Amino acid sequence: MRFLFKTDYQQDTRLVKHGGQGFWYGTLLLVMAAAPVILPSYWVSQLSFVLIYAIAGLGLMVLAGFTGLLSIGHAAFLGVGAYTAAFLAGAGMPLPVSLLAAAVLSAAAGVVIGLPALRVKGIYLAIATLAFGFIVEEGMARWESVTGGNNGKAVKAASMLGFPLNTEQSFYYTCLIICVLVTLGVLNLLRSSTGRAFVAIRDSEISAQSMGINLSRYKTVSFAFSAALVGIAGALYAHKLRFISPEQFGILQSIDLLLLVVVGGLGSVHGAFLGAIFLITMPQLIALSKDWLPPAISQAAGMQAVVYGLVLMAFVLFEPQGLYGRWMKMRTYLELFPFYRRGMFKRQKSFQKSERLK
C-alpha cells in the first residue's frame, strides 16, 4: 500500500499523483502504441472503435458524470460531428480541419440545447434532450443535399498532410493520438476551476450557487464541451465506418452511450474507457455464447436486447459505480487485505424530496 503525504496544495491537483501511476500509464500507452504491430488488423479495427467510443464516452461523462446533467439525445452530437466530417472530407479538407469544424459545430449545437436546458432540470432535461435527439435525427434524414438522406452517405478516408489514412493501422494511430489528447484535456479540465465547478453543480446546485458559481454559465459550458468531444468522436466514427446514415444516430445509439457511461462507472475518466471496451466486446461475447446455448434461445432476434437490458439493470441495481467501482473495490480489498470490512462501500440511503418544491 502506498501512502501519499501531501505537504502543499499543488499536490492535490497534480496530473500524475506519484511515480507508480506514471509508470503504469506509460506502460499502457506503450502497449497501445505497439498493439497494431502485434495484433491482426481485425483487432486493430476493434481497438479503433474502442478509442472512438471512449472519446464519446468521455464527452457524455463530462455532462452526466461530472455535471450531473442527464442527456438521452447525445447521439445527435455524434451525428453532427459525423456529417460535418463527411462533408468537409468530401470537399477535400484535411483531418485536423474537419475535426475542428466537427467539434465547433457540435459545441454550437450543444449550446443550442444547453440554453433551454438551463431552465429545466432532472427529468425535464432528459426529455428536452430526447426531443432534441429526435429532431436532429429527422433533420439528418431530410436535409438530403448535404446528408444524403435515408440512403446514407459514403465518407472519404481521412487524410492528413496529403497522406490518406486508409489503412487500419494508420487510422488506429490517429484515433490513439486524438484519444490521448482528449483524455488529457478532460483530466486538465477536471483539475481546473471549471471542472471543479461542474462537480460542485452535480453534488448540490444550491451550495454551488451559494459559493458563487454561475449555474447557467457552467451548465452551458458543460454542454458545449461535452458536445464538442462527442462531435470529435462522431467525425472519427464517420471516417472509420466510411458510410453513415441517420439511423446510426438515433435513440438506440444515445442509449448505447448512456449504457457506456453507466456500465463504465459514472463520474470517472477510467469509466469511459472501461465502458467503451465493454460496449465493443459485448456483441462479440454474445456471439461466442451462441455456441453454448440451445439454438431456440441463441437464434432468437431479441437476444442481444435482452442481454443489454439485463446488464444495464444489473449494474444499476448491484454496482452503481460501474466497472471502475468494481475495480476500486477489488483494489481496496487487496490493499487492506486483512482489514477490509464489508460495509465499506455501502450506499447511504437518502430519502427523496420533491423536486417540484423549489
CA distance 206 to 204: 5
Q: What is the DSSP letter of 266?
A: T
Contact between 190 and other proteins (CB under 8 A)?
no
Cell numbers found for residue 237: 466514427
Contact between 206 and other proteins (CB under 8 A)?
no
Q: Which of 318, 199, 311 minimizes the C-alpha distance to 256?
A: 311
CA distance 30 to 27: 5
Contact between 355 and other proteins (CB under 8 A)?
yes
Q: Which of 279, 289, 301 minimizes the C-alpha distance to 50?
A: 279
Whether 73 contacts 135, CB under 8 Å = no
SS3 annotation, 30-58: HHHHHHHHHCCHHHHHHHHHHHHHHHHHH
Contact between 352 and other proteins (CB under 8 A)?
yes
Q: Applying CB under 8 A, which of residues 177, 288, 305, 336 lies at the interface with other proteins?
A: 305
User: What sign has the CA pseudo-torsion 252, 257, 260, 266?
Assistant: negative
Q: Count Cβ atoms within 10 A of the Cβ of residue 133 and give its class: 0-12 exposed, 13-18 middle, 19 or more buried.
A: buried
Looking at the Cβ atoms of 39 and 286, the one nearer to other proteins is: 286
- The one segment of 85-93, 131-139, 154-162, 213-221 that binds other proteins by CB under 8 A: 131-139
- The one segment of 81-89, 161-169, 192-200, 295-303 that binds other proteins by CB under 8 A: 295-303
Pattern of binders to other proteins over 69-98, x per CB under 8 A?
-x-x--------------------------
Q: Applying CB under 8 A, which of residues 17, 18, 119, 290 lies at the interface with other proteins?
A: 119
Q: Applying CB under 8 A, which of residues 90, 97, 134, 242 lies at the interface with other proteins?
A: 134
Q: Applying CB under 8 A, which of residues 53, 77, 83, 132 lies at the interface with other proteins?
A: 132
Q: Applying CB under 8 A, which of residues 128, 179, 229, 236 lies at the interface with other proteins?
A: 128
Q: Applying CB under 8 A, which of residues 32, 35, 108, 127 lies at the interface with other proteins?
A: 127
- The one segment of 37-45, 123-131, 227-235, 331-339 that binds other proteins by CB under 8 A: 123-131
Q: How far is the CB of 254 from other proteins (least distance, A)?
A: 10
- The one segment of 30-38, 47-55, 272-280, 303-311 that binds other proteins by CB under 8 A: 303-311
Q: How far is the CB of 306 from other proteins (least distance, A)?
A: 4
Contact between 123 and other proteins (CB under 8 A)?
yes
197 Cβ partners below 8 Å, 6+ apart? 208, 213, 218
Q: Which of 107, 82, 50, 88 minimizes the C-alpha distance to 247?
A: 82
Q: How far is the CB of 350 from other proteins (least distance, A)?
A: 6
- The one segment of 14-22, 171-179, 268-276, 302-310 that binds other proteins by CB under 8 A: 302-310
CA distance 177 to 168: 14
Contact between 349 and other proteins (CB under 8 A)?
yes
CA trace torsion 202, 208, 212, 217 (10° rounding): 30
Q: How far is the CB of 240 from other proteins (least distance, A)?
A: 26
CA distance 51 to 130: 25
Q: What is the DSSP letter of 161?
A: T
Q: Applying CB under 8 A, which of residues 6, 15, 34, 138 lies at the interface with other proteins?
A: 138
**How far, CA to CA in Å, does 132 sit from each of 122, 125, 250, 299?**
16, 10, 11, 35
If one counts every other C-beta atom within 10 angstroms of the C-beta of residue 127, the result is 14
Q: What is the DSSP letter of 243?
A: E
Looking at the Cβ atoms of 26 and 309, the one nearer to other proteins is: 309
Q: How far is the CB of 309 from other proteins (least distance, A)?
A: 3
Q: What residues line the site for other proteins (CB under 8 A)?
A: 64, 70, 72, 116, 119-120, 122-124, 126-128, 130-132, 134-135, 138, 141-142, 251, 255, 258, 262, 296-297, 300-313, 316-317, 320, 347, 349-358
